[in-house]
Structure 1
Amino acid sequence: MIKVYNRQTGEYEIEKVAGAGVLNYLYETRSGRAGLELLVKRKLVSSLSGIYFDSRFSTKRIRGFVDSFGIDLSLCEQKTEEFKSFNEFFIRKLRPEARVFDKNPQLLLCPGDGRLKAWKDIDVKRLIQIKGSFYSLQELIGDETLASEYSGGVCLLLRLAPVDYHRFHFVDGGACNESRKIRGSYYSVNPIALKTVASVFCRNKREYSIFDSENFGRMLYIEVGATSVGSIVQTYHPGETMVRGDEKGYFKFGGSTMLLFLKKGRAVIDDDILEQTKMGYETRVLAGETIGQKKGKNPS
């Protein structure tokens, strides 16, 4: 059972997990874990899954998925019958008014829909996966010098469940360099899996890029793939000037994770998010939602 904090109601909700039975079997039983290591975590399984979800045969899965998870299709740019595959539905674009990015430069906004955890004054050599389980930023990106720049800063971890809107955005104006790809496995990033597999984010396929933002300095974006995620697709053009809310990319089918790092003294995260993280809970958020405030005057 996964409890997520709803900051609008001030109450906790039980997350309805897509494929919960399969996840429990794979990560919480001996035979399941054996199959996970031998087959499920490997690229072939996710690639085959991706081929199916890109095919026209997968469209029959859309209506059942929408009904099971109560997805509001009125927010989409396309009508249900216009999607030519399940993946086309999965990476659906929303109407501009569905996710509004405030232009106030003092506000730190969320890059995507999902479940958010946040930490301040971070130790980059000891980042938290779950209580009692840690990994390092150097291990995550393979660059000790770059990792050290974020010592004492802020770490945002946004988990996108399969039911979420799967496009992610720039939280400020600025320019982003080319994304660097790191090969890896395809473990689930659901909390069920995080309890079992150490350093999941460092073991999975991932990409990272540096975003020189106008108001929050040099930010580090990291996208992590997971089981059944055929691709992490970057849609921005490296070096071009972006405006707040511009699309950075999207994940194809499956649960996924984004991490966003800010340097020390650049932002103050909202207290309710920090408090829920301390208690071990994620906070439900949407792209463009305010999650903090700017701190400091001279980004670098």
Structure 2
Amino acid sequence: MIKYYNRKTKDYEIEKVAGDRYLQWTYSSPIGMQVLELLVKKKIFSKIYGNFCDSRRSLKKIHSFIKDFGIDMSESEKSMSQFTSFNDFFTRKLKSEARPIYKNIDFLVSPGDGKLLAFENINLDKLVQVKGFTYSLANLIGNSNISEKFSGGTCLILRLCPTDYHRFHFIDNGKCEETVKIIGDYYSVNPAALKKIPELFCKNKREWSIFHSENFGDILHIEVGATCVGSIIQTYTPKNPVEKGEEKGYFKFGGSTTILFFEKGKVKIDQDIIEETNKEYESQVVLGEKIGEKIK
């Protein structure tokens, strides 16, 4: 059971998890953990399932997924009849009015939909995965020189469960460098997995890039793949100017994570998000929602 904080209602809710029983069995039983290590975490497992989700055979999954998880299709640019596969539905674009972007340059906005944790004054060698598990930024990106730039700064971890909108966006005007790709495993990023696999983010497939923003300094963007995520697709053009809210890329089917690192003294995260993180609760956010402010 995953309890999270709803910022709108100011109450706690229980997350609907796709494949919940499978996840609990995999990460909570000895046999499940054996299957995980032998098969599920492997690239071939996610690739086979990803190929299925790219095929027309997967179309039949869409209706039940929408019904079971209450997906609001009025937000989608495409109608049901226009999808060519489950992944086409899963990576659907939304109407612009469905996710308005706060344009005030002093406001920090969420890069996507999901459940958010926020950490300030970070120790680069002891970043929090969950209580009791830490990892280092140098190991996460494989570059100690760049990681040092974010010492004492702010870290945002946005977890996208399979029911979320799965495109991620830029949080400010600016230019983004080339993406660095790191080969890795495909563990789930569900909290059940985070509590079982040490340094999980450092083990999974991931991609990172430096975004030179106009109002929040240099930002380290990291996208982490997970079980059944066939691909991380970057749609931006490196070193070309982008506007706040513009798409950076998307994940194909599965749960995924976007992590942002900010330099020290650049942003102040909204207090409710910090308080909930300190209580070990994620806060539900959507693309374009205000989550902090620029430090002037």
* TM-score normalised by structure 2 residue count: 1.00
Root mean square deviation of aligned Cα: 0.5
Percent of residue pairs bearing the same amino acid type: 55
Aligned 1:1-300 pairs, distance under 5 A? 1-296=1-296
Q: Once the 2 structures are TM-superposed, how far is the Cα of residue 279 of structure 1 from its aligned partner?
A: 0.3
Q: Once the 2 structures are TM-superposed, how far is the Cα of residue 226 of structure 1 from its aligned partner?
A: 0.1
Residue range with higher mean Cα deviation, 95-104 or 34-43: 95-104
* CA shift digits 1:152-171 (9 cap, x unpaired): 10000000000000000000
User: Could you say what secondary structure the match of 1:149 adopts?
Assistant: helix
Supply the distance in 1 between the matched residues of 2:101 and 2:151 (Cα, whole angstroms).
Answer: 28
User: Could you say what secondary structure the match of 1:147 adopts?
Assistant: helix
Letter in 1 for 2:147: A
Letter in 1 for 2:6: N
* CA shift digits 1:220-254 (9 cap, x unpaired): 00000000000000000001000000000000000
Q: Once the 2 structures are TM-superposed, how far is the Cα of residue 81 of structure 1 from its aligned partner?
A: 1.2
The gaps in structure 1 that reach 5 residues or longer are: none
Q: Once the 2 structures are TM-superposed, how far is the Cα of residue 197 of structure 1 from its aligned partner?
A: 0.6
User: Could you say what secondary structure the match of 2:38 adopts?
Assistant: helix
Q: Once the 2 structures are TM-superposed, how far is the Cα of residue 16 of structure 1 from its aligned partner?
A: 0.9
Q: Once the 2 structures are TM-superposed, how far is the Cα of residue 100 of structure 1 from its aligned partner?
A: 1.2
Supply the distance in 2 between the matched residues of 1:80 and 1:285 (Cα, whole angstroms).
Answer: 25
User: Could you say what secondary structure the match of 1:293 adopts?
Assistant: strand
Supply the distance in 2 between the matched residues of 1:103 and 1:44 (Cα, whole angstroms).
Answer: 42
The gaps in structure 2 that reach 5 residues or longer are: none
Supply the distance in 2 between the matched residues of 1:39 and 1:142 (Cα, whole angstroms).
Answer: 26
User: Could you say what secondary structure the match of 2:175 adopts?
Assistant: strand
* TM-score normalised by structure 1 residue count: 0.98
Q: Once the 2 structures are TM-superposed, how far is the Cα of residue 102 of structure 1 from its aligned partner?
A: 1.5
Supply the distance in 2 between the matched residues of 1:146 and 1:105 (Cα, whole angstroms).
Answer: 26
User: Could you say what secondary structure the match of 1:291 adopts?
Assistant: strand
* CA shift digits 1:14-54 (9 cap, x unpaired): 00110011101110000000010001000000000000000
User: Could you say what secondary structure the match of 1:221 adopts?
Assistant: strand
Q: Once the 2 structures are TM-superposed, how far is the Cα of residue 77 of structure 1 from its aligned partner?
A: 0.3
Supply the distance in 1 between the matched residues of 2:214 and 2:269 (Cα, whole angstroms).
Answer: 18
